[in-house]
Amino acid sequence: MNEEFIGALREIVKEKGISEELIFLTLEDALIAAYKKNYSKSAAQNVRVSMCRETGDIKVFSQKEVVEEVYDDVIEISEEDAKKISPRYELNDIVEIEVTPRNFGRVAAQLAKQVVVQRIKEAERNIIYNEFIEKEYDIITGIISRKDKNNVYIDLGKIEASLGPNEQIPGEEYTFNDKLKLYIVEVKNTTKGAQVIVSRTHPGLVKRLFELEVPEIYEGIVEVDSIAREAGSRTKISVHSNDETIDPMGACVGPKGSRVQNIVNELRNEKIDIIKWSKLPEEYIANALSPAKVLDVTVDEENKSARVIVDNNQLSLAIGKEGQNARLAAKLTGWKIDIKSKSQVEE
């Protein structure tokens, strides 16, 4: 070890943003193991390795406990012998005796390169993992880097994420170099480094987009209660206001519909129904079936089911194409919904 090595080590840790002290401690631990393997007569010998942070000089110290009677001179020293080293030593103290081998610097130099490279890789992986774990369940902007079979790969800066087939919006085009907003579903710390799982279909993406576009949601004045989504087609989102003077639906729509339109554009023209939440299930269910107009709602609290009556000309609108409107309303509210027309009830 020498000052040149220490200087180079400092440059590396500075460039990589890694703790310098962590590298030194790791090296010292590795050198202890190397000493025990190559020089120690007993694997049980207690040693400490000290590396000078300025010069790189290495010293190995054997650690022995001061005892009244020595049974194992590898790890114990008598009080009499300890006091010959220094009068300050007393029973149960630890005495350190330098035992640095002559050629230990060569062994240390060979080991250091291997340990430093490994530790830097580990530290870099941890730095990236810690950076992205803080963004879990949040929105992130990435750039489409490539496509391979059914997967789309997104460049997130320090890492590449894979957008799987189930996380892609049906019919959405993914073009090289296009920017894309994504929802981070999960961040895993694997042996190969951080793995970031992203989605374009998750309801959380819609919620985060509303938080970005609607200051009242970001500030907590307006709250999102529930989201039901069929990605690429339609989303229903229910909201309420904690301030009676603020209209939650109006806040989400924005001036001339600008706020919700920005979200629709980001989701490639996915339709969005903004629903006013209500603590009254009858009212909430009626609102959830928007844009259909509801005549009456009867709820069965025990089975959490509801019967809804609409005008004859509103039935197909309430049910929606292939049952989508009714399906999303049920998912949004958490209630089973049975929709009947006025004439069906009369019959």
Residue (of 139, 146, 117, 271) closest to 199 by Cα position = 139
pLDDT at 346 over 70: yes
pLDDT level of residue 247 (50, 70, 90 thresholds): very high
Residue with the two structure tokens 């959405």 = 172
Residue (of 131, 331, 306) closest to 236 by Cα position = 331
User: Are 43 and 37 a contacting pair, CB within 8 Å?
Assistant: no
pLDDT at 174 over 60: yes
Pair 310, 288 in one domain: yes
Terminal alpha carbon distance of the chain: 95
What tokens appear for 289 in the block?
């079936």
Pair 113, 34 in one domain: yes
Cα–Cα distance for residue pair 215/138, rounded to 1 Å: 17
pLDDT of residue 208: 97
CA-only gyration radius of the chain, Å: 34
pLDDT of residue 310: 96
What tokens appear for 81 in the block?
């012998």
pLDDT at 42 over 60: no
Other Cβ atoms less than 10 A from the Cβ of 62: the count is 19
DSSP percent split of the chain into helix, strand, coil, nearest 5: 40, 30, 30
Q: For residue 46, tell me if it sits in a domain.
A: yes
Half-sphere exposure of 34 (CA within 13 A, CB side): 23
Enumerate the β-bridge partners of residue 239: 224, 276
Per residue in 78-107, pLDDT tens?
A: 999 999 999 999 999 999 999 888 888 777
Pair 324, 309 in one domain: yes
Q: For residue 267, tell me if it sits in a domain.
A: no
Pair 74, 148 in one domain: no
For residue 176, the enclosing domain spans: 135-199
Pair 70, 52 in one domain: yes
Per residue in 302-327, pLDDT tens?
A: 999 999 999 999 999 999 999 999 99
User: Are 220 and 239 a contacting pair, CB within 8 Å?
Assistant: no
Average pLDDT over residues 229-243: 97
pLDDT of residue 40: 64
Other Cβ atoms less than 10 A from the Cβ of 138: the count is 13
Q: Which of 61-65, 123-127, 148-152 has the lowest mean pLDDT?
A: 123-127
Average pLDDT over residues 142-165: 93
Pair 127, 187 in one domain: no
pLDDT at 333 over 70: yes
What tokens appear for 248 in the block?
């939650």
Pair 7, 126 in one domain: yes
Cα–Cα distance for residue pair 298/283, rounded to 1 Å: 10
